[in-house]
Amino acid sequence: MKSFTYERAATPAEAAAAAARTPGSRFIAGGTNLLDLMKLQIETPAHLIDVNRVGLNRIEETREGGLRIGALVRNTDLASDKRVRRDYGVLSRALLSGASGQLRNKATTAGNLLQRTRCPYFYDTTKPCNKRRPGSGCAALGGFNRNLAIMGTSEQCIATHPSDMAVAMRALDATVETVRPDGSTRTFPIAEFHRLPGDTPHIDTNLAPGELITAVTLPKPVRGYQTYRKVRDRASYAFALISVAAVIPKRGAGRLAFGGLAHKPWRVEAAERRMGDAREVAATVLAGARTTPQNAFKVPLVERTLAQVFGEAKA
Amino acid sequence: MRFDQPAGTNPIDRMKVVGQPIDRIDGPLKVCGVAPYAYERHDVVPNQAYGFILGSAIAKGRIRSFDLADAKSAPGVIAIVTHENAGKLGKPKAITANLMGGPEVEHFDQAIAIVVAETFEQARAAAKLIRVDYARAQGQFDLRAAIPSAKPVSDSSGEGSASPGRIEIGDFDAAFARAPVKVDVEYTTPDESHAMMEPQATIAAWDGDELTLWTSNQMINWAVRDVSQALLIPREKVRVISPYVGGGFGSKLWIRSDVVMAALGARAAKRPVKVALTRQQVFNNTTHRPATVQRLRIAANKDGRIVAIGHESTSGDLPGGGPETATSQTRLLYAGANRMVEMKLAVLDLPEANAMRAPGEAPGMMALEAAVDELAEELGMDPVEFRVLNDTQVDPEHPERRFSERNLIGCLRQGAERFGWAKRNPKPGQVRDGRWLVGMGVAAAFRNNLTMRSGARVAVDGRGIVTISTDMTDIGTGSYTVIAQTAAEMMGVPVSQVVVRLGDSTFPVSSGSGGQWGGNSATAGVYAACAKLRDQVAAKLGFNATDVEFADGQVRSGGRSVPLTDVGEMSAEDTLTYGDLGKKQQQSTFGAHFVEAGVDALTGEIRVRRMLAVCAAGRILNPKTARSQVIGAMTMGVGATLMEEAVVDTRFGCFINHDLAEYHVPVHADIPHQEVIFLDEADPQSSPMKAKGVGELGLCGVGAAVANAVYNACGVRVREYPITVEKIIAGLPRVA
């Protein structure tokens, strides 16, 4: 860990302004990922802006009948909120399938969106990694890539985004609200929040420098059976091999988003018209998949998991 | 005391205290967080500085030069030690790779420098500022590619399993060719990391030329020897203290880089230095269980009797290292006239391969007992009946040697009864519970029993307290407790009046902890010391030593009874040494593992649902701590079967998934109901305690029982451990 300076912000706008003032700064909330990265010097911020006391820790109902989730609402609190459990079961389940109880108590809504990949080469500073050190190469391409991406990859990077929560939010068409250093605010559809790696795998999201997430808003609930199915190597405390966030109405199109496939939550709306047909949906969602011998199993696994989810929805 | 005749009746046989399931006497210290582990010994010596070890970024080659300028001027830095200023170092005979590398680099993350600073953070940050100019050399990191160059080697794990390079009894090839039913299968097991809770950690302090080390180590006396050999200082100048160990599983049988680097750092800084390895360093800086490629050829007549059994295994290690003795159990477990085992070793430039819990048997049984399941199916026989039929009561290579005790059949029979084995459908893929395909599997458990000389000192203080001192270690196994029980039984006092002091090289040399020898051997040493003190007490009281009884705080003989407190302060020290009983008869431990597993019919996910182990392993000194050992081992077996794999990146020559987020061990949710049954047994050949080991027995065979249950559940036989989702779905029918 490199030594760093620290300040505590009192309001979101003050935090964003502080970030603009101090180059090389990072916001810190739960710190469940950032601190690990700092210890390994994968992240080397010169300055930390603690946003834990800026408020933004409430879940409010919106006029449109949805929920506005403050950026600092902890994963545990969000998963156990009565309204979330009642109307957005897919989100509650996704949250509870992630990390451990201790981590969920600390991890925040915004921080969860901003967690970085778990690619083993990103975590080993003696190895090339374009995400960690642009231009150094991608060691994962010819290496241990069993749990890396098969969709939306580039020659530069095949990392996945590790969040479960974000996958459910993608299925729910959430929007991400931010404040910029100049005090202005804007809103991203979650589909446009995370980026594909392309030639700039070191940039995970479309946030501008110093831009702070203030809330995630869920539109009014959509009807249907909601589930989050995470397939993993052990029963708990493991990142997804693949995951499916699903909202399945009795008839008609539903919502499906996938984790463990790409650099961002993966959703292909066109596939949702074939709800119930696992083979067709999988084929559409996975069109253009680029696999390696180690991760090719994700292709049949998506179809098999969809078959299970559709079967349970019907039952 | 020399143990060269089978034990007769002795005070332990009363089993008033020994054999009782009492709570760990060190339990309250641990649950309150006050048992002091090595890195937490802030109290023992003032002015401690922090060391951080820099590991090599290359796997093989040479360090051309260090640029230390930035690191030296970093805040808080006190000293930096590399091979250039470390002085002359030796290599302990027991260790393969140098604990400090440079200029030659032998493996990835080998320690090449230590930075000592005022704080941990400063030391770590400064270590990152060291620039190293490496000359990379080609290395061999791929076991599969190295197999053609592998050579047969004879070796012992040093932990109870040993096997020759090649041995053949009868005519294996001809018998195998001729037999009507046979399997010829290859199984592979991956590299594994010990993943103990507490990483290697040491505080080193010099007082003149005397070195004291507070560390985490299983074998105190070996540690003293190895420190002496590494630092080229006399043994008498080295003191090692390790009263609490947060898990070892073999990773702490020998000293590691933390010890040597802390000592060098402390010498350079002229201050005590504390060092702990990071979790990432544990994977590549320390030792691991090496991967194996195994071939099993087993053939039987149609009646199910084995006529030929052959087991070959290849593993790799650094030059001068040793093999995984995975063929060892195949020499002893089943009958069969024609036999062959072959053990080969390839040279690899990965980190040092070495002992991990049940070295040899753990991966060997994963292959053997799965292949046996395959053969039973070929024969159309129940796998329990097949094992019973092929039991042997003598060493198959030396039929004149009997087993001292061998109740494998009892374990299998009682386990089958208790587990509901009769309900198993021998045809795979037939039992469904919702989305789960459900199956049952069985495997034998087998592990040799080793006895090690062990010493102790016992003192009574005239106030009723009995104090035992021995350099024995408690690595989470329950040594404190079984030693206290032994002393209480021998001296006739309650356990609450026994003080046990462990893990200090100033105490009598014990067996240490390893190879499941610790429980029996260390308590036998305590028995010897107590027997000697009893004689001295009897003599002092003028009692006839042959009929003296120590009970209820009293010493009784011939109608007289004297309180033990009346003898005042007395002490005795003795070491129990062994004759050749272990050679005359084969001492082994036995068990049977039963597992019920579910396989998700669509996703191929595997979840173990029920586990049962039945063990026949001599006298059980404390059924509660023994049960903890066995369920811990069963859990470790689930990990080895379903998830643990230190993945080799053959381009960089390292284990790449080097943290506990990516190297999976089971979590609570993976482990279902576990039951353990100990069969009533006492083995008079093993020691005066009549006990044997169970800590590793519990691991041997679990993996195969899980694999066999998975096969029975879904019909997919995976021979490449770990058994993960992609290997299962490759064999499942396509979605309808």
What's the CA dihedral at B322, B323, B324, B327 to 10 degrees?
A: -130
Q: Which of B121, B129, B602, B734 to mutate to test the interface with A (most CBs of A within 10 A)?
A: B602
Each domain of chain B, given as residue ranges in start order, spans 2-35+451-582, 39-138+198-284, 402-449+587-736
Cα distance between residue B704 and residue B390, in whole Å: 18
With cut-offs at 50, 70 and 90, classify the pLDDT of residue B162.
Answer: confident
Q: Is the pLDDT of residue B576 over 80?
A: yes
> Do the chains contact at A308 and B603, CB–CB below 8 Å?
yes
Number of helical H runs and strand E runs in chain B:
17, 35
The range of the structural domain enclosing residue A45 comes to: 5-53
Cα distance between residue B107 and residue B316, in whole Å: 13
Cα distance between residue B500 and residue B521, in whole Å: 16
Compute the average pLDDT of residues B91-109. 97
The reported pLDDT for the residue numbered B325 is 96
Burial B129-167 (b: 16+ CB within 10 A, else e): bbebebeeeebbbbbeebeeebeebebebbbbbbbbeeb
Q: Is the pLDDT of residue B164 over 90?
A: no
* B596 CA to centre of own chain: 26
> Do the chains contact at B603 and A304, CB–CB below 8 Å?
yes
Q: Is the pLDDT of residue B161 over 80?
A: no
Q: How many residues does chain B have?
A: 736
Looking at this protein, which amino acid is placed at residue B412? L
Give the nearest partner residue to B651 out of A143, A237, A304, using CB atoms: A143
Give the nearest partner residue to A236 out of B658, B667, B725, using CB atoms: B667
- Please tell me the pTM assigned to this model: 0.97
* Residue A15 included in any domain: yes
The reported pLDDT for the residue numbered B360 is 96
Query: Between B518-541 and B479-491, two packed helices, what is the crossing angle to 10 degrees?
Result: 30
The reported pLDDT for the residue numbered A108 is 98
Q: Are B484 and B523 in contact (CB under 8 A)?
A: no
Residue A298's nearest CA partner among A217, A244, A222, A235 is A244
**Catalytic residue set of B:** 696
Q: What percentage of chain B has pLDDT greater than the value 70?
A: 100
- Per residue, what are the HEC states of chain A? CCCCEEEECCCHHHHHHHHHHCCCEEEECCCCCHHHHHHCCCCCCCEEEECCCCCCCCEEECCCCCEEEECCCEHHHHHHCHHHHHHCHHHHHHHHCCCCHHHHHHCEHHHHHHCCCCCCCCCCCCCCECCCCCCCCECCCCCCCCCCCCCCCCCCCCCCCCCCHHHHHHHCCCEEEEECCCCCEEEEEHHHCECCCCCCCCCCECCCCCCEEEEEEECCCCCCEEEEEEECCCCCCCCCCEEEEEEECCCCCCEEEEECCCCCCECCHHHHHHCCCHHHHHHHHCCCCCCCCCCCCHHHHHHHHHHHHHHHHHC
Fold exhibited by the domain B2-35+451-582: Aldehyde Oxidoreductase; domain 4 (3.30.365)
Q: Are B51 and B114 in contact (CB under 8 A)?
A: yes
pLDDT 10s digits, B259-279 = 999 999 999 999 999 999 999
Compute the average pLDDT of residues B91-112. 97
Q: Is the pLDDT of residue B157 over 90?
A: no
The reported pLDDT for the residue numbered A255 is 97
Q: Are B459 and B570 in contact (CB under 8 A)?
A: yes
The reported pLDDT for the residue numbered B155 is 82
Burial B634-662 (b: 16+ CB within 10 A, else e): bbbbbbbbbbbbbbbbbebbbbbbbbebb
Residues of A with CB under 8 A from a CB of B: 1-3, 39-41, 118, 120-121, 123-124, 126-127, 139, 142-144, 146, 231-239, 241, 278-279, 297, 300-301, 303-305, 307-308
Phi, psi of B443 (to 5 degrees): -155, 150
**What is the domain count for chain A?**
1
Residue B347's nearest CA partner among B320, B326, B371 is B320
With cut-offs at 50, 70 and 90, classify the pLDDT of residue B546.
Answer: confident
Cα distance between residue B130 and residue B116, in whole Å: 13
The answer to whether domain B2-35+451-582 and domain B402-449+587-736 are alike in fold is yes
Write out residues in chain A with pLDDT < 50, as ranges: none
The reported pLDDT for the residue numbered A94 is 98
> Do the chains contact at A304 and B667, CB–CB below 8 Å?
no
The reported pLDDT for the residue numbered B735 is 85
Residue B310's nearest CA partner among B377, B365, B368 is B368
Q: What percentage of chain B has pLDDT greater than the value 90?
A: 97
Q: Is the pLDDT of residue B441 over 90?
A: yes
CATH class of B402-449+587-736: alpha beta
* Residues sharing a CB contact under 8 Å with residue B653, sequence separation 6 or more, in sequence order: B58, B59, B60, B107, B108, B139, B141, B349, B350
Instruction: Please give the angle made by the CA atoms of A188, A194 and A199, to the nearest 5 degrees.
Output: 130
Compute the average pLDDT of residues B528-534. 98
Residue B66's nearest CA partner among B48, B84, B46, B45 is B84
* Residues sharing a CB contact under 8 Å with residue A96, sequence separation 6 or more, in sequence order: A79, A104
Compute the average pLDDT of residues B512-516. 96
The reported pLDDT for the residue numbered B545 is 76
| Helix H or strand E encompassing B212 | strand B210-215
Q: How many residues does chain A have?
A: 315
Q: Which of A297, A305, A309, A310 to mutate to test the interface with B (most CBs of B within 10 A)?
A: A297
pLDDT 10s digits, A215-262 = 999 999 999 999 999 999 999 999 999 999 999 999 889 999 999 999
Q: How far is B213 from chain A (nearest CA, A)?
A: 27
Cα distance between residue B448 and residue B442, in whole Å: 20
> Do the chains contact at A121 and B603, CB–CB below 8 Å?
no
CATH of residue A12: 3.30.43.10
Give the nearest partner residue to B667 out of A237, A279, A300, using CB atoms: A237
CATH architecture classification, B39-138+198-284: 2-Layer Sandwich (3.30)
Q: Is the pLDDT of residue B544 over 90?
A: no
